[in-house]
Amino acid sequence: MEVVFPQAKELRSILSAATAFLSEGTFKAKNDGIFLASLDSANVAVIIVDMYPNMFLDYKIDGEEEIFTVNLEDLKKILSKAKTKEQISWKTDKKKNKFILSIKGKSTRSFTLPLIETEGNVLDIPSLDLRIKLEMDAKAFSEIVSSAKVIADELKITTDPDKNTISFIAEGELKDMRIDLTSQDEGVLSMEVPEKVTVRYSVDYLYKITKVATISDTVMIKFDQDKPIWLDYRSLDKFRFGFVLAPRE
């Protein structure tokens, strides 16, 4: 496999969000893109990364698919040395069991990492029937989560189908926060509220994932009573960063 990213910015943000939950990642490279799906170490969240051919300047794989595992922390540290608009290339050498990352700017810097022995395959993405749907401005959702993090360690989400509202609530010992969203709000693109539900999720997990908002304009949020919340950050036909988080009891 050999692929070239036009600039470091998007890849750096994707890996920064992924490494908040994963120390290593198993990728599957196919004709239609490079994919990662993995459960975090606490077994409460699934991280999904899809990078489609349009995200690359050049895209080549050997055969129908190639599976490889690398240390994500090491990749993140190397990418921190790259300037935003420098080109990044990934190359695997299965014979030498090596992963080569190159940064191309005024000069080309190459870094070699060992490929990690792959245990199993890429995780199958769960199938969930989630009735509540909210598509909104990604940065606006980040602000909601950031505000909640100041107040409490969990974010409560409630819905009211009669008023067609979704409310985000954080409750501390001496302070609280409440943000009510309707389909008329500027940051809301679409909303489906067929049922009345109340669910709670970890603010810390949601806060870590909102790093992807720097490279995605919108986020699709889906949830339901006593079920996980599913967040999908997308950039047209270039990539998707999905996140599935189990509810708190």
Indicate whether this model's pTM tops 0.85. Answer: yes
CATH code: domain 2-114 is: 3.70.10.10
Q: List the domain boundaries for the chain.
A: 2-114, 132-241
Contact (CB, 8 A) for 49 and 241: yes
- End-to-end C-alpha distance for the chain, whole angstroms: 44
pLDDT at 120: 57
**At the top level of CATH, which class does the domain 132-241 belong to?**
alpha beta
Beta strands (DSSP E) in 61-142 are: 65-71, 87-93, 98-104, 108-114, 132-137
* pLDDT tens-place values along the chain, 249 residues long: 999 999 999 999 999 999 999 999 999 999 999 999 999 989 999 999 999 999 999 999 988 899 999 999 999 999 999 999 999 999 999 899 999 999 999 999 999 999 998 765 667 887 899 999 999 999 999 999 999 999 999 999 999 999 999 999 999 988 999 999 999 999 999 999 999 999 999 999 999 999 888 889 999 999 999 999 999 998 878 999 999 999 998
What is the rounded distance in angstroms from the CA atom of residue 49 to the CA atom of residue 99?
A: 19
Neighbours of 249 (CB within 10 A): 5
pLDDT score, position 121: 61
User: Regarding beta strands 33-39 and 2-5, do their DSSP bridges make them parallel or antiparallel, or are they unpaired?
Assistant: unpaired
pLDDT score at 32: 94
